[in-house]
Structure 1
């Protein structure tokens, strides 16, 4: 898909309803969770697109389908942009790397019409994909694609670990395996009797978003998407708000009050 973006850069630009900064259009009303809850879950995570000053994304057209790439890593987006400047400087002069929230991307997806549908391809960080592949292969499983999220579990029933933030329990879903491992090790030290039960599941971001749209399970409201350290550094550099620490500082514990499937495992 990324090669297609280079090859088809002459198609840059779409109608206003596909602008990353626009929330126009009719949203799907058949959501199991309230729209505001889904947005709240996704809002705090920035992702990175190649777009012009009006927020119109760089697109590829292949077999009459329109595509655009949304990068999880700012550095990956910048690397792609540098390549674009060399291979198609005219188009590159019209666009730049722009940060948008995951919630904005979600709203853009749900506001589209079939006539002007733009397929959004999330571009995961390759090192995290390799980590997911290795983790799954050790269990005889295969990576099925998508943006891997790493979720610590523990206990005989493989309960999700939870952390408390502002007197609320959350289930962290990490964009980096290293952060999930750090939380898992913290739990092992605090609970040595359960150390052998601790594991890390891999759940695609795309599955999480789909599940938010299809289920009203209360456990879904507890999901906390935890950005990579690269993204946390970006947030801190571009916001007066406090970025999350890596990982959450308080002691994790098993979540015994929810079912065990906020999203399908891969």
Structure 2
């Protein structure tokens, strides 16, 4: 029986990147979870296994036309950039931020008519959406070099997926940066793999049985793949959100580059 862990299990991941230019293998190999795994004879997976699991799953980030990420200052004063698991969620957040900034500019013009026009610019007007493979996003969320420079990255599921996860778990809140994955224990793909979905509704579209939908968590699952003893863990596969691969391909074409840009070492800070 495949052993999946509860999505509420806490999992700490740390990756040390000495340079923004690193291979996928280097990024994952330098994480603290891989040395833990390599010390155990029961290890069932390598960094390459995780790369293969993650690399074809797109995430989406808000950037300028050159690929410099927009990062926001939170209540904890941390400067954070986000990788969204769905294009629609990235689009929703960008539209909400743009509308809020437009409203603020209108209010300032009305209340402070002598304000310098340079201070009345909506920074979100220059923003667009790029795509970043999930293996890169996972590595950057644990980038200790970035954190030393007070830059943080998080992976953000959609609001609907968070709500579905909380309904299934019975919990009141989901810690920021945690990514729910939905599955049915009995459900297998034709090649015998067990699919994990980022969206409950997408799972229910593909699964027609009577099995119970359950929820686990991305980072906790990745750690379990590395340190777990159950060989069935190697049969897990991630199913990208509907239309995300097509969206990622379209974005790449719009940038007219082999890969959509995402610039490390630069940032646009939104207070």
- Normalising by the smaller structure, the TM-score range is 0.5 to 0.7
Q: Is the 8 A contact 2:79 2:150 kept in 1?
A: yes
CA distance in 1, matches of 2:172, 2:220: 13
Provide the residue aligned with 1:174 in structure 2.
Answer: 197
3-state DSSP class of the match of 2:232? Answer: helix
Over aligned residues, Cα RMSD in angstroms? 3.3
Provide the residue aligned with 2:132 in structure 1.
Answer: 100
Matches within 5 A, 1:110-259: 110-113=142-145, 114-116=147-149, 118-136=151-169, 141-142=170-171, 145=174, 146-154=178-186, 161-165=187-191, 169-185=192-208, 188=209, 195=210, 198-215=211-228, 217-234=230-247
3-state DSSP class of the match of 2:61? Answer: strand
Q: Is the 8 A contact 2:131 2:248 kept in 1?
A: no
Q: Is the 8 A contact 2:182 2:200 kept in 1?
A: yes
3-state DSSP class of the match of 1:149? Answer: strand
TM-score by length of 1: 0.62
Q: Is the 8 A contact 2:58 2:245 kept in 1?
A: no
Q: Is the 8 A contact 2:141 2:154 kept in 1?
A: no
Q: Could you tell me how far 1:110 is from its partner in structure 2? A: 4.1
The total of aligned residue pairs comes to 200
CA distance in 1, matches of 2:239, 2:218: 11
Q: Could you tell me how far 1:149 is from its partner in structure 2? A: 1.5
Q: Structure 2 stretches of 5 or more lacking a match?
A: 1-16, 38-44, 103-120, 254-271
Partner deviation per Cα, 1:141-170 (whole Å, 9 max, x = no partner): 32652332210123xxxxxx32234xxx31
Point out which structure has higher relative CO (alpha carbons under 8 A, 6+ apart): 2
TM-score by length of 2: 0.61
Q: Could you tell me how far 1:223 is from its partner in structure 2? A: 1.5
CA change 1:55–1:209 in 2 (3 A) is farther
Q: Could you tell me how far 1:181 is from its partner in structure 2? A: 2.2
CA distance in 2, matches of 1:131, 1:70: 20
Determine which structure has the larger strand proportion and give its number.
1
Q: Structure 1 stretches of 5 or more lacking a match?
A: 1-15, 155-160, 189-194, 241-266
